[in-house]
Structure 1
Amino acid sequence: MSPTRVFVARLAGCSVFDPAGDKVGRVRDVLIVYRSDNSPRVVGFVVEVPGRRRVFLSIGRITSIGSGQIITTGLINLRRFEQRGGEVQVIAEVLGRKVVFVNGSGDATIEDVAIEETDQGEWEVTELFLRRPRTSASPFAKGHTTFARWEEVRDNEIDGEAQSATHLLATYEDLLPADLANALLDLPEQRMLEVAGELSDARLADVLEEMPESEQVGILNKLGDDRAADVLDQMQPDDAADLIAQLDDERGEALLDLMQPEEAEDVRMLLLYAPDTAGGLMTTEPIIVSSDATVAEGLALIRRHELAPALGAAICVTLPPYEPPTGRFLGMVHFQRMLRYPPGERLGTILDQQLEPVHASASAAEVARILASYDLVSVPVVDDNRRLVGVVTIDDVLDYLLPDDWRSHDDEPATAPYITTDTRPQQVVAPSATHRGRRHANGTSR
């Protein structure tokens, strides 16, 4: 095998270094353009740099590929990556695609793509690693694998049949929900929907919570009612309520009927409040205990792995019942305060007497002022009878205060030691390789 021949799937996650040996980022994909008279040409890499920003690294800025790492000239364009028309991401859009052999010997699925340096600084796709359909009915059987040159196959996409996202999801496995949401938003719309459809219910719920509302609605509208309800069950009630509020009344009510009764009840309660009030911003799943609960019990509750950090910062103490709307709200105990007392101390004796709850009708601006004034990460919300109905956390307020397109807002870095200009070519000749640009929160493209 030629030393300059590399398989793309093995590059996913590889470190990128500058000439001094300092790590610049990590490879997330390889960018190619189709050519009518030859194999696709590699134009660069999608690289994740510190700050989870995805940028374009031109193939001309790469001096070495191999041994699990990539060496650059040290010049990188730090503007956020935007896929241009005609460009194709190999891992995101090629792996898992079905092809048919031009000699009539059947079809196969692309499992990997080999790129090779054909001239100094020039790389192109030279070979495909393919898997044939299995011939046995056994669930453990796999089709045999083979290699083929690019010109020996052609696309065999069937209308309505989704491209497999197995390989792509493997490269996304280590991403946090917010980063995975950004990665999906960088994909062409159809590919984004295919990948979203193959995520587990819990993973998709986490990702939807980090997406603009227009994209949330677009994905949910592509799911069947049963699957959509399962995903909504996995979302935080306030996020699920915000999403359902964007749907038409008929489908929103249908999904609520299919959700778990307890989850649907929380969402229905949240939908009663205006979105710019404490009731509209709050979550209905804080930690709630009785005044007789001990410090040891409280600390055990906030140690739960699935608990969001903002919700684990304090515990609410109420009279029974202990599900919103609870009995009369007595107060909150912050986790730092619990650490200062013995394990057997009752939480009712160490309440924060200075923190007053906000009414469910309080404005979002008022809630923001309270959080900022007292350096809080959450504030309790009560109704007219001082029953606890939820808590507003700092992330809920930030989502409200930030502009609608904050997830796609791209401020230039204050210092950019590796900045250069974008050197991608403008000419491409593959009409089938047209993709929409990066989407923004308002659903537009550019």
Structure 2
Amino acid sequence: MAGGRIFVSHLAGVAVFDPNGDQVGRVRDLIVVLRVGRKAPRLLGLVVELPTRRRIFLPMTRVTGIQSGQVITTGVLNVRRFEQRPPERLVFGELLDRRVRLEETGEEVTVLDLSVQQLSSRREWEVDRLFVQRGGRGGAFRRKAGEQFLVEWSAVTGLSLEEKGQGAENLLATFEQLRPADLANVLHHLSAKRRAEVAAALDDDRLADVLEELPEDDQIEILGKLAEERAADVLEAMDPDDAADLLSELPEGDKERLLSLMRPDDAADMRRLMAYEDRTAGGLMTTEPIVLRPDATVADALARVRNADLSPALAAQVYVCRPPEDTPTGKYLGTVHFQRLLRDPPYTLVGSIIDDDLQALSPTADLPVVAGFFAAYDMVAAPVVDESGSLLGAVTVDDVLDHMLPDDWRETEYHLDEPAEEAPAAGQPADAPKEATADGS
């Protein structure tokens, strides 16, 4: 599917199937987000109508194939009713039949159709070409007289946001390429009103990533301003350990209401994590490491490691266990590190190359023990195993650092490219005070 070009009119009414071949709905529209300046509009996902007539949002990250008049999904669907957010535009509802201008001549043309293309280096999709018509208005499903032709999206004006204005969509477009930690820093320094506006406009996955990087007070404030159903969806999209930490800070009534709105499996993970003390391996771990059976192959393991949703630390190794594979698992057998996977043939069984010499962490191991384990063995992730030998989860180095740094470390701006401190002038003591500027600084 990477690199393929699709004209959106070909997706109207197309059936959507899960991996088992069962139809889950039909495509009713596509969602793009307009961006500031010369950046191409980005395709976020599809509006899918379920058999119950409810319309939901299907992110493109959950689409595994578009072929032969059908869309294939990962099978994981969020059935919350679709709600359009400020930066989003409906392709069929708002962009087709839209009047735009040709950059070169200034002539107005009508958008009849547009094509989207998946970027080869990322999982993102962007608008790349427009099928337009001179003269009267047309549409993807009706044609009128007038010359019709293809143009690059950059050859027209009218499909970008103005760079002025203070709307949340402009702010989001400006900071779209920021890493979650950097966007979190921006949010932290906004007013509470602006912070709530931006949080409301972010999609669930992006907001989940940003919440994980915010100070606790900001997390609670933002979560409290979301509708409860959406708050539960965002918590489900967060890493389980981060979501459990956030839930544990809420009043008991709020916590139970949100847990009741979450999927049962996710809620069970949250409750299991909240049962452990905060600064222990059990409290630090995630319940979603890569778990494989001993008869899985190196090729199977590498396919799991390639999942772009995994953090680099979680993708650094896989854990081999007897069934069941969901945590808590059957008996934990050992770990296979990513480098070992690269050295062995694809058909090799992971059960034959496990590292079983390294002792796993106990869920009750406290933070200094966990940190010492990582330092002693140069690890970026480590398994957490209970007394019965079942794998409970994995601790990653980022969570260890998060709990070892000062409580306010997220509120400190770290600049890796700060210039060296200016040397004192000749004859001036190194500790002499600098001259005050006109404004007293």
TM-score by length of 1: 0.57
- Please tell me whether the aligned partners of residues 12 and 171 of structure 1 are also in contact (alpha carbons under 8 angstroms): no
Please name the residue that 2:411 is paired with: 408
Please name the residue that 1:244 is paired with: 247
Q: Deviations over 1:244-296 (max 9, x none)?
A: 00100000010000011121111111011010110000000000011111111
Cα distance in 2 between the residues matched to 1:194 and 1:373: 45
Matched, 1:203 2:180: no
After TM superposition, the structure 1 = structure 2 runs for residues 288-437 of structure 1, keeping only pairs within 5 Å, are 288-410=291-413, 416=419
Corresponding letter in the other structure for 1:379: A
Deviation at 1:228, TM superposition (A): 0.5
Cα distance in 2 between the residues matched to 1:413 and 1:225: 39
Q: Deviations over 1:160-214 (max 9, x none)?
A: xxx7411111101111111110111121221111111111111110100000111
Structure 1: give runs of 5+ residues left out of the alignment: 1-8, 14-95, 97-143, 145-162, 427-446
SS at match of 1:317: strand
Deviation at 1:300, TM superposition (A): 1.0
Please name the residue that 2:223 is paired with: 220
Cα distance in 2 between the residues matched to 1:166 and 1:212: 24
Deviation at 1:413, TM superposition (A): 6.8
Please name the residue that 2:279 is paired with: 276
Deviation at 1:308, TM superposition (A): 1.1
Relative to structure 1, the CA distance from residue 422 to residue 212 in structure 2 (aligned partners, 3 Å threshold; closer, same or farther) is farther
Cα distance in 1 between the residues matched to 2:416 and 2:292: 45
- Please tell me whether the aligned partners of residues 381 and 392 of structure 1 are also in contact (alpha carbons under 8 angstroms): yes
- Please tell me whether the aligned partners of residues 371 and 400 of structure 2 are also in contact (alpha carbons under 8 angstroms): yes
SS at match of 1:389: strand
Cα distance in 2 between the residues matched to 1:421 and 1:234: 51
Q: Deviations over 1:22-66 (max 9, x none)?
A: xxxxxxxxxxxxxxxxxxxxxxxxxxxxxxxxxxxxxxxxxxxxx
- Please tell me whether the aligned partners of residues 36 and 173 of structure 2 are also in contact (alpha carbons under 8 angstroms): no
Give the aligned length. 273
- Please tell me whether the aligned partners of residues 205 and 232 of structure 1 are also in contact (alpha carbons under 8 angstroms): yes
SS at match of 1:276: coil
- Please tell me whether the aligned partners of residues 290 and 318 of structure 2 are also in contact (alpha carbons under 8 angstroms): yes
- Please tell me whether the aligned partners of residues 279 and 360 of structure 1 are also in contact (alpha carbons under 8 angstroms): yes
Relative to structure 1, the CA distance from residue 186 to residue 325 in structure 2 (aligned partners, 3 Å threshold; closer, same or farther) is same
Relative to structure 1, the CA distance from residue 208 to residue 10 in structure 2 (aligned partners, 3 Å threshold; closer, same or farther) is closer
Residue among 206, 212, 233 paired with 1:230? 233
- Please tell me whether the aligned partners of residues 336 and 354 of structure 2 are also in contact (alpha carbons under 8 angstroms): yes
- Please tell me whether the aligned partners of residues 241 and 285 of structure 2 are also in contact (alpha carbons under 8 angstroms): yes
Relative to structure 1, the CA distance from residue 295 to residue 277 in structure 2 (aligned partners, 3 Å threshold; closer, same or farther) is same
Deviation at 1:325, TM superposition (A): 0.8
Cα distance in 2 between the residues matched to 1:375 and 1:246: 32
- Please tell me whether the aligned partners of residues 220 and 246 of structure 2 are also in contact (alpha carbons under 8 angstroms): yes
Q: Deviations over 1:342-378 (max 9, x none)?
A: 1111111111122111111111111111111100001
Cα distance in 2 between the residues matched to 1:267 and 1:306: 19
Cα distance in 1 between the residues matched to 2:249 and 2:341: 40
Relative to structure 1, the CA distance from residue 228 to residue 412 in structure 2 (aligned partners, 3 Å threshold; closer, same or farther) is closer
Cα distance in 1 between the residues matched to 2:257 and 2:223: 13
Structure 2: give runs of 5+ residues left out of the alignment: 1-34, 40-86, 88-157, 159-165, 423-433
Cα distance in 2 between the residues matched to 1:223 and 1:270: 23
Q: Deviations over 1:411-438 (max 9, x none)?
A: 6879626989998979xxxxxxxxxxxx
- Please tell me whether the aligned partners of residues 215 and 411 of structure 2 are also in contact (alpha carbons under 8 angstroms): no
Please name the residue that 1:173 is paired with: 176
RMSD, aligned CA:
3.0
Relative to structure 1, the CA distance from residue 413 to residue 279 in structure 2 (aligned partners, 3 Å threshold; closer, same or farther) is closer
Relative to structure 1, the CA distance from residue 421 to residue 191 in structure 2 (aligned partners, 3 Å threshold; closer, same or farther) is farther
After TM superposition, the structure 1 = structure 2 runs for residues 56-71 of structure 1, keeping only pairs within 5 Å, are none
Relative to structure 1, the CA distance from residue 260 to residue 415 in structure 2 (aligned partners, 3 Å threshold; closer, same or farther) is closer
Greater RCO, CA 8 A, separation 6+: 1
Corresponding letter in the other structure for 2:384: V
Deviation at 1:240, TM superposition (A): 0.4
Matched, 1:188 2:188: no
Cα distance in 1 between the residues matched to 2:346 and 2:240: 32
Relative to structure 1, the CA distance from residue 342 to residue 210 in structure 2 (aligned partners, 3 Å threshold; closer, same or farther) is same
Corresponding letter in the other structure for 1:203: R
- Please tell me whether the aligned partners of residues 201 and 234 of structure 1 are also in contact (alpha carbons under 8 angstroms): yes
TM-score by length of 2: 0.58
Determine what percentage of the aligned residue pairs are the same residue.
50
Cα distance in 2 between the residues matched to 1:296 and 1:424: 66
SS at match of 2:224: helix
Corresponding letter in the other structure for 1:391: A
Relative to structure 1, the CA distance from residue 328 to residue 424 in structure 2 (aligned partners, 3 Å threshold; closer, same or farther) is farther
SS at match of 1:380: strand
Corresponding letter in the other structure for 2:239: Q
